[in-house]
Structure 1
Amino acid sequence: MNPIKVLLADDHDVVRKGMKMLLEDEEGVLVIGEAADGAEAIEKVKALMPDVVILDLTMPKMTGIEAAAVISQEYPSVRILIFSMHNNREYIINSVENGASGYLLKDTGKDELLRALSVVSEGRKYFPPEISEVIIDELLAKNLSGGAPVESKPIFQKITPKERQILDLIVQGYNSREIADKLFLSIRTVDNHRANMMKKTKAKNTADLVKMAIQ
């Protein structure tokens, strides 16, 4: 299996070097370049075509969000993983709306960073548990339901907050094992919640459940 080719973009040299040292010993990851600002990140993406660019938000010349917008538009096969110290609604939503596939905070551990790289390199989304359910719901509302408030949908009035959190992840394409790992639950617990949601909503299968959530 080919390693995940990664470009590191951060205006702090110490951060870039630290991340490079963290990743270079991993067999499944190959750091192929670095950039010190958003404009340079775009140039490096064009020249190197990484699988994933790990992008800081607050950089000179061009912000990470501005760079993400250009990269996602011009190089759609390149996945964008935001790596930021900012844990607030505006930054997260703007990042996703401009093409980011994932969002990690800079105090993230190595295991979660590697998990996020693996997930986004496969074309899926990755948001860590620190991001509140309110933020996830708002992202889903904007991207999957055309702006209609999630809370107004009948399905969300029938299920518990934990079931709602699991359903959000099902809609994003995660399977039971991945949801269990992400929420620190057993697979059996996830499957039980899934079964309970189907019973409460009278959904025939998981596809029917997802349809209720996004329509």
Structure 2
Amino acid sequence: MRVLFADDDQIIREGLANLLNHQDGITVVATAENGAQALDILATQPVDVALVDVDMPVLDGIQTAQRIAKQYPKLAVVILTAFEHEESFVRSLEQNVRGFLTKDIPPDRLAEQLKRAHAGERVFGSRPTEILTSNFLATSSNAPEYLDFRRRVEALPPYLRDVFDLVIEAYPNKTIARRLKLSENTVRTYVRELFVALDFTSRNQLTITALKAGY
């Protein structure tokens, strides 16, 4: 699996790249010191996963993820951060990033998460998940708009609820089909039905709302 790692701190950039290169199945094919340089590299270097620091000059990690999503929609982007700002997490979800991990993650665990992101899963570090889940549950889940959302979810027929549970985990249709033992065409039909039932047109917005509603 080919990884591009972007971080403006040279010591972290070189050190983590070296550690990742010692993990099975991982090759850091390029490094960048900012988002603009990362985009230049992507124009010429095939990459499977972009690991991007959230705080960088020129283009920060979120801006970089936004441009990658537009130019390379199949490329998995994982944000790496010290997690100083919770709003970065929500901004990253809006840009369809596959993961949001903290810099204290062990190299072997990071390699595992990058592989999962490459396979189409969405991966979050334990600290971002704990902090944001508790924050959203405390501040958002009882708001009227989320109560209405929860009522709609609970009213879903079982076959759509199964799809909902996997969609909000960011599984692609192919994986959902395999896990539910359905054809991809059937899954696509069910996803369309799910969007109609919950009044959504975007997987990202559905995932964000589900998280805020406590799912």
Both proteins in one fold, TM over 0.5: yes
Matches within 5 A, 1:59-208: 59-132=56-129, 135=132, 148-149=145-146, 152-154=149-151, 171-172=168-169
Q: Is the 8 Å Cα contact of residues 9 and 16 (structure 1) preserved in structure 2?
A: yes
CA distance in 1, matches of 2:45, 2:122: 23
Aligned: 1:54 with 2:46:
no
CA 1:91–1:120: 2 relative to 1, 3 Å: same
Match of 1:11 in 2: 8
Aligned: 1:32 with 2:29:
yes
CA distance in 1, matches of 2:54, 2:134: 22
CA distance in 2, matches of 1:152, 1:110: 38
**After the TM superposition, which of the residue ranges 56-65 and 148-157 deviates more from structure 2?**
148-157
What are structure 1's unaligned runs of at least 5 residues? Answer: 140-147, 158-166, 175-206
Number of aligned residue pairs? 162
1:58 maps to a residue whose letter is D
CA distance in 1, matches of 2:98, 2:34: 19
Point out which structure has higher relative CO (alpha carbons under 8 A, 6+ apart): 2
Pairwise CA distance, 1:68? 0.8
Q: Is the 8 Å Cα contact of residues 68 and 80 (structure 1) preserved in structure 2?
A: yes
Pairwise CA distance, 1:155? 8.1
Q: Is the 8 Å Cα contact of residues 24 and 30 (structure 1) preserved in structure 2?
A: yes
**After the TM superposition, which of the residue ranges 15-24 and 85-94 deviates more from structure 2?**
85-94
Q: Is the 8 Å Cα contact of residues 138 and 150 (structure 1) preserved in structure 2?
A: no
* Structure 2 SS opposite 1:32: strand
Could you list the per-position Cα deviations for residues 64-97 of structure 1 after superposition, in whole angstroms to 9, with x for gaps in the alignment?
Answer: 1111110111011211010111254310011121
Match of 1:20 in 2: 17
1:18 maps to a residue whose letter is G
1:124 maps to a residue whose letter is E
Q: Is the 8 Å Cα contact of residues 76 and 118 (structure 2) preserved in structure 1?
A: yes
CA distance in 2, matches of 1:80, 1:118: 12
CA distance in 1, matches of 2:18, 2:170: 31
Q: Is the 8 Å Cα contact of residues 6 and 33 (structure 1) preserved in structure 2?
A: yes
RMSD: 3.3
CA distance in 2, matches of 1:169, 1:134: 22
Normalised by the length of structure 2, the TM-score is 0.64
- Give identity over the alignment, percent: 27
Pairwise CA distance, 1:124? 1.8
What are structure 2's unaligned runs of at least 5 residues? Answer: 137-144, 155-163, 172-189, 199-215
Pairwise CA distance, 1:137? 9.2
Pairwise CA distance, 1:151? 7.7
Pairwise CA distance, 1:104? 0.4
CA distance in 1, matches of 2:82, 2:119: 25
